[in-house]
Chains A and B, each alone.
Chain A
Amino acid sequence: MMQGEPILKISNLSKRFGGLVAVDDLTFNVREHEVMGIIGPNGSGKSTTLNLISGALRASDGMIVLEGQDLTVLPPHKIARAGVARTFQLVRILPKLSVIENVIAGAAFASKPRWGGEAELFASALLERLELGDKKHLGVDSLTYIDQKRLELARALASEPEILLLDEWLAGLNPSELQIGIELISRLRNEGRTIILVEHVMDAIRSLCDRCVVMNSGKKIAEGTPAEVLSDPEVVRAYLGDG
């Protein structure tokens, strides 16, 4: 799909935890219909960046603008309504709700809220598409790990977000599940969704991302297509650990 104008603009974003600078003067844009990868060694600030965008954390400095709307100081529920949806690095589903209720949770409070019969139809259709259709009335404790991941994704999609943040959504899957997972995200990509993908799985980065940002110790050290950044000597050094 053709990529459009930048819809998310991140400029000079920083986050300090006491003395630690987890995100350091980070600037990048995400275009409409683009899959943007964020990669980097452990502790390089990838999750913190997503937390800043989704409002889970408040930025120390810099700006986050989505389609002209300044998100920097908004609380998470307003950011969600502005069109940002996310999954969490450690999967978070709502344990006491049924599968379909988990999805309705994503739809009921979105910018275009759905409720009642409409929400049920919408959630059912979404679950069908994620191959969870036959489990919709079950409790979530009966789900396998990959199904929990799918459900969390369904909840995020249920809000029909402008931009979707996936924090290591593929982590923890076994090799065959990984193929299914990559397949699923590539379908989202083909639907034209705008996605920020934080990932350690290089195969996924190569096959899914249009561009990526490489972080190390909170700083952006490279930006470009996966092929470009993965051959960048500085990136190689960072990954080998002597950067």
Chain B
Amino acid sequence: MKLAEVRNLAVGIVVALLAIAVPLVSDGYWLSIATTAMMYIALSTSWALFSGPTHLIALSTGAFFGIGGYLVGTGMSDYELDFWLMAAVAPFVAMFLALLIGLATLRLSGVYFVIFTLGLAEMIRNLVSWIQNNFLGSRGLYVLTDFTDAHIYWMLLAVAIVVFLTGWWINRSRLGFALRIIGNDEEVAKHVGIDTAWSKVTLFMTTGFFAALVGAIVAPRYSYIEPNVVFSPQLSFLVVIMALLGGVHRLWGPLVGVIPFTLMWEAITIFFPSSTTLFLGISFLLIVYLIPNGFVGMFESGLARLRR
């Protein structure tokens, strides 16, 4: 291991230990915000595993997240299945869906990929709602567990840690290198022997897996699940915004974006509850125009200027 890696690992362990302690020192309100932040850390970081190197902006997080939440909801409420069973099954269902989406979108680039993933997520949302309302009865899905916010927070932290370890491993592997080459020039990638299709689909499936896992874990927070709510397009956008705000070219970039944005978003939903979509759009524009490489990019280029 190189020196920088040892340092990063040490910093990572310290941050993780501090994060474990959060529920012990915060009250209900702040713990709830911390839980939301932890959810977005896991989601944005895993989103960036695929979208960072490939520059393909996927707006399907809500669909995978929804699969997690919905399967836990319908499993526990309609079939009296165990939470853990559903939380274990959902990520694999999402992975399979990601495989299908991946295969369908392989030839799409740039804006077509964005539109396709958004459209597909919306289609899934409507389809599940329709099936729920017409065939399964439109009664609500209750997720009753004895998890406290602290439990959910810790489970999300565990997922986030696994996401970081996965990302760290991918970045060192040939798969991670392949993705970077694809992001640079897909034609060259093919010509040096990279199975670009399979590399992209593998990473996309990883992203889908984690999003569904997160969706399953936070389902008990809602206690009442409605397809239209868990298959949330807004969530897809928030995940993208937070990741871009932090910077997607580093593993820890999204983390840097999530924390301030979660706080700001909390304020926005309190003070302007009816215009959240407006703020979502404004944030997106500001980030893309003003800090295209995120806080991390800003920080790094500042550092480079100082050194010169």
Contacts and interface: CB of A to CB of B under 8 A. Distances in A.
B partners with A: yes
Interface string B183-201: 1110110111111100000
Interface stretch (A20-28, A103-111, A189-197, A204-212): A103-111
B181 interface: yes
Interface in A43-101: 54-56, 75-77, 80-81, 85-86, 92, 94-97, 101
A159 B193 contact: yes
Interface residues of A, number: 27
B190 A76 contact: yes
B177 A94 contact: no
A86 B181 contact: no
Given A108-B174, A113-B174, A115-B174, A77 B181 contact: no
B188 A109 contact: no
Give the size range of B's interface with the partner: 10 to 19
Contacts of A106: 192
Tell me the dominant secondary structure on chain B's binding face: helix
A75 B194 CA distance: 10
B180 interface: yes
Contact of A97 (B178, B184, B187, B193): B184
A85, A105, A115, A155, most chain B CB atoms within 10 A: A105
Given A108-B174, A109-B174, A115-B174, A155 B192 contact: yes
30 contacts: A54-B191, A55-B190, A56-B190, A76-B190, A77-B190, A77-B192, A80-B191, A85-B192, A86-B191, A92-B185, A94-B181, A94-B184, A94-B185, A95-B184, A95-B185, A96-B180, A96-B183, A96-B184, A105-B177, A105-B188, A105-B192, A108-B174, A108-B177, A108-B178, A109-B178, A109-B192, A109-B194, A115-B174, A155-B192, A159-B192
Interface of B: 174, 177-178, 180-181, 183-185, 187-188, 190-196
